[in-house]
């Protein structure tokens, strides 16, 4: 908890592997989660082949996927399709986006932005990364256990998940059980992280940095940490209960006398409730949506203020909206369950709260849009990503409204419309913002800028293909195609929309190719990028007061904050930005 | 090797009134409330939906539960005494009270395992017997793991970690205080578990 994190001349292992420095841990998180993101995306590229060309052998990789995923001809099996789908969701959310947004950006940028020498608990920070790593390895191990990986969807709904992967496999080393173990590790990791974040933000701010002088990104991380802290434990409880169901045949989620494929499930005593899982799961998973979004909104706020050379429009409004959003996210969970038969009174309540939570979301988006008004916008690469976030996140948010109303949800529930909706929020929304964040803070981490040419080569195709992938899903969903079908052309309406499905698939593969310039840029620029000073974007917040890359302990001398975070274009000033750490006397 | 402490490792922060570790433990306990809260909610839902045994039936022997409640409450008192002794600069007495706390919690675990779990399992009543026993094993088992964790931490401060007292008594006492906060929470969970499973 203390002391030796400033030890001099540490060896390679303690400097880069088991490091206690928040910056090294942040980079570890970033690189690991980017790898997981690409891996999770690759699973989807395989699934998209089966959807676009049902029953045809998968080209290139078909022969390599193993007997749990494909048959002898390299055609994706239905069980394999389900496994890829479940693992795609799990990996993207829990191993990709959250660790990147919170573990990566939060760890690296947040302590610098509050002027702290490190996180409050460096050892806890290291533990949090390694538990996450272990959780990731456990998740991936699912592909190699008998019977293959978990295939009950990323939501793991029982009774299906209670009995899945059990016949003819190892009683313990099977896909769903390994999934649960991995989940428990990942929850533990984010719990350690969130405690650390909250204490750091409350206790380690430098002198003068009051709560309302915090950069918006820090506020976003602060609220996110509370969501992680309070929403994850119920899923841990649910995971333990499902583990008990699977390993010891308790029946928390098993009703009595269930018959599956002609087999009476009498290994369970019965008396449980499948709905219990859904309540516990969504109590986590709805706040989780905001865990995915809020850090991204924070990043977009930083980039927009810096590149419009204007203060963020309505800083306090933004902060209050984020706090309200965080609070409300705990009372909307059952809008995922309108069609479970939980009753119309419950539906009405959760429909109402869902409509209320859309208000702060719209306020945030409007404030960010208004921040562009009358700005002298610099179209840098990070700014392009931030700008593309706004309309695409808006599409994601607004298409959610019909899902939040219990009447229109009857038509849309569990169709591709839902997939299109939440992917617009998380992929063209959050992931674009996170990529922008990488371009934005890369000079701080490496002391070098990423190539602008490769950045454009990355941005424009990504922007086009993100929409090519996800927009057709709305059409497919409105045609009534269910989200978990292995071969939708078995239905008449599926044949009608096959063109849209193929467009989506080709978009996904093109999107994969569009990431190549980014991968090259990411590694190449670390050695050959243009060297920059400590504040290449002419930004105001404290992280730009530290050298690039910041040394151990971050700041040469402890900075003091003299003003708010976004003092751009101050009238009659010599420079168009007033950094937080420079006293007034040195500005005039 | 210079080693400087991060701000507020020892002194309280003027706004929160806590040092880093204490604030961290309180936040951790908030998440623990959510963990056990979710399990208590699960209990309520199973009891109102499922075929739970009638509450008049005596399923668990309340005498063991009552004895264990007594042991844990006493251990909470000795935990406070340990912290107070360290605070009053009397490490000998502090260690003694810490040992008593360890012994009381081991007695709790012994009774729980030997006379309750093993006895029931011997009678063929395993977690899969009914949802009541499922949630009983699950919640008390998770609580037992928390007790075990606390014992490990206390034993650490009594053995390997005891050297910190000589180097930095203030920090050592803080750590005992954090252990105590956790310990009182674990006791509190039992105060809820006892009536829910043995009496209601």
Return averaged pLDDT per consecutive 10 residues of chain B, 200 residues in all: 69 93 97 97 88 68 94 97 97 97 98 95 90 93 97 97 94 96 98 92
Identify which of A8, A121, A229 has the shortest CB distance to residue B20. Answer: A121
pLDDT of residue A139: 96
CB contact under 8 A, A250 and B23: no
In the predicted structure, residue A554 carries a pLDDT above the cut 50: yes
Peptide bond into A330 cis (omega under 30): no
**A contacts of B5 (beta carbons < 8 Å):** 2-3
pLDDT digits (tens, 9 = 90+) for A502-534: 999 999 999 999 999 999 999 999 999 999 999
CA dihedral A72, A75, A78, A79 (to 10 degrees): 50
Question: The tokens 């009051």 sit on which residue?
Answer: A210
Q: Are strands A448-449 and A259-260 parallel, antiparallel or unpaired?
A: unpaired
Give the residue-averaged pLDDT of A550-574: 91
Task: Check CB contact under 8 Å for B31 and A233.
Answer: yes
CB contact under 8 A, A240 and B138: yes
Q: A residues 89-128 near B, CB within 8 Å?
A: 116-118, 120-122, 124
- Interface contacts A/B by beta carbons within 8 Å: 151
Would you say A435 and A450 are in contact if contact means Cβ atoms under 8 Å apart?
no
Percentage of chain A exceeding pLDDT 70: 98
Angle at B23 between CA B21 and CA B25, to 5 degrees: 70
Prediction pTM value:
0.95
CB proximity A241 to B under 8 Å: yes
Q: A151: closest CA among A131, A187, A178, A128?
A: A178
Question: Does A258 lie at the interface with B, CB-CB under 8 angstroms?
Answer: no
Q: Which residues pair with A263 in a beta bridge?
A: A260
CB A458 within 8 A of CB A325: no
Distance, CA of A480 to CA of A495 (rounded, Å): 12
Tell me if A318 sits within 8 A of A312, measured CB to CB: yes
What's domain B36-45+60-199's superfamily in CATH?
A: Cytochrome c oxidase, subunit III, four-helix bundle (1.20.120.80)
The pair of three-digit structure tokens given for residue B13, joined into one six-digit string = 């922060």
Q: What ipTM does the predicted assembly reach? A: 0.94
What pLDDT score does A547 carry?
94
- At A5 the pLDDT is 47
A160 close contact with B: CB closer than 8 A: no
Of B31, B127, B138, the CB nearest to A229: B31
Chain B residue nearest residue A204, CA to CA = B7
pLDDT tens per residue, range A279-289: 999 999 999 99
Mean pLDDT of A308-312: 95
The distance of B24 to chain A (nearest Cα, Å) reads 6
Dihedral sign from CA coordinates of A83, A89, A90, A91 = positive
Q: What is the pLDDT of residue A7?
A: 47
Put simply, whether A170 touches B (Cβ < 8 Å) is no
- Give the nearest partner residue to B13 out of A8, A203, A273, using CB atoms: A203
Is residue A26 over pLDDT 90? yes
| pLDDT at res. B56 | 53
Residue A496 has pLDDT above 60, yes or no: yes
Q: A20-259+274-586: which CATH number, 3.50.50.60, 3.40.190.10, 1.20.210.10, 1.10.730.10?
A: 1.20.210.10
d(CA A119, CA A103): 12
Residue A265: pLDDT band (50, 70, 90) is confident
- Could B128 and A4 be called an inter-chain contact, meaning their C-beta atoms sit closer than 8 Å? no
Looking only at the bridges linking them, the beta strands covering A263-264 and A259-260 are antiparallel
- Assess A2–B contact: CB distance below 8 Å, yes or no: yes
Q: Residues near A569 by Cβ (< 8 Å), separated by ≥ 6? A: A309, A310, A576, A577
Chain B neighbours among A 458-497 (CB < 8 Å)? none
Q: What is the pLDDT of residues A337-387, one digit of tens each?
A: 999 988 899 999 999 999 999 999 999 999 999 999 988 899 999 999 999
Write down the pLDDT at residue A4. Answer: 44
User: What is the predicted pLDDT for the residue at A3?
Assistant: 42
Beta-carbon neighbour count of residue B2 at 10 Å?
Answer: 7
Q: Mutate which of A1, A124, A270 to disrupt the B interface (most B C-beta within 10 Å)?
A: A1
pLDDT of residue B58: 63
Distance from CA of A6 to the nearest CA of B (A): 6
CA A578 vs CA A113, A378, A409, A437: distances in Å: 15, 18, 49, 22
Instruction: Measure the CA–CA gap between A254 and A159, rounded to whole angstroms.
Output: 6
For residue A59, pLDDT over 80 is answered with yes
Q: How far from A201 is each of A114, A206, A462, A559, A566, CA to CA, in Å?
A: 7, 10, 34, 16, 19
Give chain A's mean pLDDT: 93
Encode pLDDT of A176-234 as tens digits. Answer: 999 999 999 999 999 999 999 999 999 999 999 999 999 999 999 999 999 999 999 99
With an 8 Å Cβ cutoff, are A234 and B35 in contact?
A: yes
Note the pLDDT of residue A210: 95
Confidence check: pLDDT of A270 > 90: no
pLDDT of residue B57: 60
Q: Whole-angstrom Cα distance, residue A451 to residue A457? A: 10
């Amino acid at each position: 908890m203390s002391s030796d994190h400033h030890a001099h001349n540490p060896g390679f292992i303690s400097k880069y592997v088991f490091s206690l420095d928040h910056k090294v841990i942040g980079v570890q998180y970033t690189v690991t989660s980017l790898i997981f993101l690409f891996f999770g995306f690759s699973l989807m590229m395989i699934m998209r082949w089966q959807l676009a060309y049902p029953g045809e052998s998968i080209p290139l990789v078909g022969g390599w996927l193993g007997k749990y995923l494909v048959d002898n001809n390299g055609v994706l099996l239905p069980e394999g399709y389900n496994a890829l789908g479940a693992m795609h969701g799990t990996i993207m959310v829990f191993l990709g986006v959250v660790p990147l947004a919170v573990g990566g950006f939060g760890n690296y940028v947040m302590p610098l932005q509050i002027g702290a020498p490190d996180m409050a608990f460096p050892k806890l920070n290291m533990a949090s990364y390694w538990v996450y790593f272990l959780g990731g390895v456990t998740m991936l191990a699912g592909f190699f256990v008998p019977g293959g990986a978990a295939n009950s969807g990323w939501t793991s709904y029982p009774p299906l998940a209670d009995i899945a992967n059990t016949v003819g496999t190892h009683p313990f080393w099977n896909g769903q059980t390994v999934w649960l173990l991995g989940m428990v590790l990942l929850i533990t990791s984010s719990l350690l992280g969130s405690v650390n974040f909250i204490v750091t933000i409350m206790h380690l701010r430098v002198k003068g940095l009051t709560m309302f002088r915090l950069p918006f990104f820090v506020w976003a991380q602060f609220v996110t940490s509370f969501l992680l802290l309070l929403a994850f434990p119920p899923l841990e409880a649910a995971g333990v209960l499902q583990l008990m169901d699977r390993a010891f045949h308790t029946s928390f989620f098993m009703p009595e006398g269930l018959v599956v494929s002609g087999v009476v499930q009498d290994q369970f005593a019965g008396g449980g409730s499948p709905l219990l899982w859904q309540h516990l799961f969504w109590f986590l998973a709805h706040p989780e949506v905001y865990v995915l979004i809020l850090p991204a909104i924070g990043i977009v706020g930083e980039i927009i203020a810096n590149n419009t050379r204007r203060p963020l429009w309505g800083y306090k409004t933004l902060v209050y909206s984020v706090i309200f959003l965080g609070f409300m996210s705990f009372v909307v969970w059952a809008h995922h369950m309108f069609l479970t038969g939980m009753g119309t009174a419950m539906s009405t309540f959760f429909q109402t709260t869902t409509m209320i939570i859309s208000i702060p979301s719209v306020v945030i988006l409007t404030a960010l849009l208004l921040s562009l008004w009358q700005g002298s916008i610099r179209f840098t690469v990070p700014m392009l990503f931030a700008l593309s976030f706004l309309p695409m996140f808006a599409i994601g948010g607004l298409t959610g409204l019909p899902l939040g109303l219990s009447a229109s949800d009857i038509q849309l529930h569990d169709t591709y419309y839902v997939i299109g909706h939440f992917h617009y929020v998380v992929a063209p929304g959050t992931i674009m913002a996170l990529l922008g964040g990488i371009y934005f803070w890369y000079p701080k981490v490496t002391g070098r800028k990423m190539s602008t040419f490769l950045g454009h080569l990355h941005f424009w195709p990504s922007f086009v293909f993100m929409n090519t992938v996800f927009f057709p899903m709305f059409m497919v969903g409105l045609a009534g195609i269910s989200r978990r079908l292995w071969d939708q052309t078995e239905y008449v309406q599926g044949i009608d929309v096959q063109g849209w499905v193929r467009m989506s698939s080709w978009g996904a593969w093109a999107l994969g190719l569009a990431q190549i310039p980014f991968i090259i840029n990411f590694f190449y620029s670390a050695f050959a990028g243009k060297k920059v000073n400590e504040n290449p974007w002419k930004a105001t917040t404290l992280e730009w007061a530290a050298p690039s890359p910041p040394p151990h302990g971050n700041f040469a001398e402890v900075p003091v904050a003299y003003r708010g975070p976004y003092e751009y274009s101050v009238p009659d000033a010599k420079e168009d930005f007033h950094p937080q750490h420079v006293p007034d006397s040195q500005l005039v | 090797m210079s080693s400087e402490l991060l701000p507020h490792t020892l002194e309280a922060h003027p706004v929160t009134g806590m040092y880093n570790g204490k604030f961290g433990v309180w936040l951790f306990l908030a998440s623990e409330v959510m963990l056990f809260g979710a399990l208590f909610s699960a209990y309520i839902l199973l009891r109102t939906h499922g075929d739970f045994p009638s509450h008049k039936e005596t399923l668990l022997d309340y005498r063991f539960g009552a004895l264990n409640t007594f042991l844990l409450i006493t251990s909470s008192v000795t935990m406070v005494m340990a912290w107070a002794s360290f605070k009053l600069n009397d490490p000998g007495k502090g260690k003694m009270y810490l040992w008593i706390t360890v012994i009381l919690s081991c007695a709790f675990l012994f009774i729980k395992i030997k006379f309750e779990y093993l006895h029931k399992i011997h009678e063929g009543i395993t977690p899969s017997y009914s949802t009541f026993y499922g949630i009983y094993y699950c919640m008390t088992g998770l609580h037992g793991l928390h007790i075990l964790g606390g014992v490990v931490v206390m034993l650490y401060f009594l053995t390997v970690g005891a050297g910190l007292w000589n180097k930095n008594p203030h920090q050592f006492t803080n750590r005992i205080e954090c252990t105590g906060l956790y310990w009182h929470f674990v006791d509190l969970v039992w105060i809820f578990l006892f009536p829910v499973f043995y009496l209601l």
